[in-house]
Chains A and B, each alone.
Chain A
């Protein structure tokens, strides 16, 4: 039996970054907001204090930080001719679970997309002519200029450290000259760089590139955000990505919003409750609330005037499918939109080994690095190249966690005493240069419901069909050559290139930058949500997260996910609640 609960104004499904931002914004207007999170409560001193934060075995290798794959996972295949099988252990990406979501275990690399990234179709077609065959790239429906104030708000919320390259249209030495115009300098200075970054910077400059410090949500100095929340200086311990920060040094919902939000009387949070589906009225055009289940298997109906999906991209997309909202994309016919344009990120790199120089990469932080943006997006002329898009190239010193990182030169055996010797010799004397490539939407890559496998509640698992596309491979091959040029100039003894080869493999960790599935766009025939992230089909339903990216840019997504959340929150506050209904007329 489903117990019906008293109604609330707004129910948020999932309580990570976007849930916390929406809750903080909407409670300001006095609305009763309830967030439902399937994982548990997590705070810095109780769950990842300094005394246990750096436990590599527990958090990463035993996956305590992430979604429980035993209860709910997804199935994977490279293409439609294969049978998808369940991912029983996370590898390539690491969906979060619990309060703060992936915002607890991210690295903190906080980017803005390029103005042209939001116009990926019209801009590229305008400059280079028709898209390559099979690409389903489209414009976001929102522009960089519209999102700029919201990027700025998120950077100030988090105390992002960096150096502006474009302040109100004026180019500033030392920052990223390719970025869109910023209305303000970063709230904190860049992090302290180490030996590897200095070598990268010098090599990049010799090649005529424009190196700049990577934008960082790890604190370069103490910071108090506009809500009064305190972030402490980073200790460069190197446990950011895959870990919670015990020193209050990494921006997360816990450090930037929750101290203020949790004490508001009109906000409530329900943990260990999983939303099973969105409930629609008989017309199917209005959400009446959500159905959720607690740990004892009791089901509840939570009525709400407004439902906002704030879970991870994969979960949001699946909830739309399980709730029967919109049509699931079918690659054979090209019909349907939910699950369309699933994209990822195309990573490659080169290890650099030194003979007599110590890189000491145990002195690290998730977003401690120097970058060049010369080969990202459309920052360079693609004429004569067989791809669109690009990526940034960087030298991040994120960590030297001993179980996870053992760099060895080309030709080293993968086990035994020769391997051990090589690990010991190179552990303190190596670094990496990486390319963080975009992923362009393709008709064959998509998400739908698995016909065979179900989760602990008997619901079909999400099925992922993905492989790198010809565009991805051409772009990555180009970027990897640029990586080689820089790496070779850094003065090491040798380098070891890791190009992107073979089919996408869901096991080795790459990035947790899964995008698409609930894409945004200009009209209901090309997108699931409108420019305000509002469902075209159900006007009192909004969908947050990177699922709305029509394709993925060559940057880490969190900055844009957060800017879109603020943008949507503003639209809900200023427009939707004054006159509930569709904010964009189809």
Chain B
């Protein structure tokens, strides 16, 4: 493992310098290691592993607004995986979203981002995947309605929203910034969650990394400049979060915890720092102030907060940094979209255990204990206290989310 990291460091340095290493034989150790690192930067494991099952054998259901899409087996099993794919087949899938039989892949597979990866990087990934234990596992049928289940329908989507293009460094910016931009916009595919989608499920270009919603979570705004969601985070805070799953502001949970568990905590620090430099350079957009919540709701919310929340989050909302998330100034709490706050109150949340912080500190669920009115009141209270400007949450919002969560209790739960 340590050796692997050293090689990865060397590779990252090579990439930073913009030098493309000479491709050696297929099974060359350095090549395979480059592929292993590429796989980490792309968090392939997160989507291509069903919870509790063999890694990379696929079968995980991704909930999209259009239905459930199951990920395929990417081990080299000849019947059910990539065993019969050539390198060119693999590159075409990664860069163009087209399968060997010519069918089009759903853009839940983020080839729109992977198209920015250099060919050598994709080849290395192919070589690494070829070394993984082969698992025989059929992909479940997608749960998509017609006409979406008909892959020809994707032709129009591609024509409208897909521009295959390699990553082009910005010569005005530093190498570090460019490395960060490559990781964020390329293999890291951060926009997959953190950018709002249009009705066709494609990124809204003018809302880039300003936050999105998926699988009943609101992914926060991760632009780090003035008015961005990470405006109050330093570069070090971002590095800390991506490497350790915690920082003084928050802890990662849910989908982001997978990104950290499988991807960013294994990245070399230079790369994580490059991501931070890039994000800190993205300016946000000023938000209008929400209207003041009514005083009766605030009073009820304060009482519920004191009884149920203050033991960990502390009466002033300051939490216990790195242990229990501060709510004052929290990006998740202040998000215009209250889905995550409400969902965390309903379901609880488990901070991702990492090498640095092995304890999965966990907030319990309150869905059985608090009514829709009570959840709305306490959510409104935390979103409107201690300088927060998240705005009110209505009992109807809570009821609607409860219903959506009950509906989404699919086989993965």
Cβ of A260 < 8 Å from any Cβ of B? Answer: yes
Question: Which residues of chain B in 330-361 are interfacial with respect to chain A, using CB atoms and an 8 Å cutoff?
Answer: 348, 350, 353, 355-361
The one of A45, A227, A228, A229 in contact with B350, judged by C-beta atoms closer than 8 angstroms, is A45
Chain A residues contacting B362 (CB-CB under 8 Å) are 44-45, 49
Question: Which residues of chain A in 35-68 are interfacial with respect to chain B, using CB atoms and an 8 Å cutoff?
Answer: 44-45, 49-51
Cβ of B396 < 8 Å from any Cβ of A? Answer: no
Bound-complex Cα distance A44 to B353 (A): 14
Asked if A45 and B312 sit within 8 Å, CB to CB, the answer is no
Chain B residues contacting A247 (CB-CB under 8 Å) are 311-312
Question: Which residues of chain A in 210-236 are interfacial with respect to chain B, using CB atoms and an 8 Å cutoff?
Answer: 222, 227-230, 232-233, 235
Knowing A50-B311, A247-B311, say if A230 contacts B364 (CB, 8 Å): no
Cβ of A255 < 8 Å from any Cβ of B? Answer: yes
Cβ of B402 < 8 Å from any Cβ of A? Answer: no
Bound-complex Cα distance A230 to B245 (A): 13
Cβ of B369 < 8 Å from any Cβ of A? Answer: yes
Bound-complex Cα distance A260 to B357 (A): 9
Q: B308, B312, B366: which has the most chain A beta carbons within 10 Å? A: B312
Bound-complex Cα distance A228 to B361 (A): 12
The one of A230, A232, A255 in contact with B312, judged by C-beta atoms closer than 8 angstroms, is A232
Cβ of B90 < 8 Å from any Cβ of A? Answer: no
Chain A residues contacting B320 (CB-CB under 8 Å) are 222, 232-233
Bound-complex Cα distance A172 to B51 (A): 55
Asked if A260 and B358 sit within 8 Å, CB to CB, the answer is yes
Cβ of A492 < 8 Å from any Cβ of B? Answer: no
Knowing A45-B362, A45-B364, A233-B320, say if A228 contacts B311 (CB, 8 Å): no
Asked if A230 and B356 sit within 8 Å, CB to CB, the answer is no
Asked if B366 and A51 sit within 8 Å, CB to CB, the answer is yes
Number of A-B contacts (CB under 8 A): 59
Chain B residues contacting A235 (CB-CB under 8 Å) are 311-312
Cβ of B136 < 8 Å from any Cβ of A? Answer: no
Cβ of A263 < 8 Å from any Cβ of B? Answer: yes
Measured between C-beta atoms, what is the minimum distance from A5 to chain B in Å?
Answer: 23
Cβ of A248 < 8 Å from any Cβ of B? Answer: yes
- Find the B residue at minimum CB distance from A261: B358
- Find the B residue at minimum CB distance from A52: B364
Query: Contact flags (1/0) for B348-385 with A, using CB distance below 8 Å?
Result: 10100101111111111110010000000000000000
Cβ of B278 < 8 Å from any Cβ of A? Answer: no
Bound-complex Cα distance A227 to B353 (A): 13
Measured between C-beta atoms, what is the minimum distance from A259 to chain B in Å?
Answer: 4
Cβ of B323 < 8 Å from any Cβ of A? Answer: yes
Q: List 11 A-B contacts (CB under 8 A).
A: A45-B350, A45-B360, A49-B348, A229-B358, A230-B357, A232-B312, A232-B361, A246-B364, A248-B361, A260-B358, A263-B353
- Per CB-CB distance, the 4 closest pairs between chain A and chain B, nearest first, are A49-B364, A45-B362, A259-B358, A230-B359
| 10 extra interface residue pairs, beta carbon distance < 8 Å, beyond A45-B362, A228-B356 | A45-B350, A49-B362, A51-B365, A228-B359, A229-B359, A230-B359, A232-B323, A232-B324, A248-B359, A260-B358
Chain B interface (Cβ within 8 Å of chain A)? 308, 311-312, 320, 322-324, 348, 350, 353, 355-366, 369
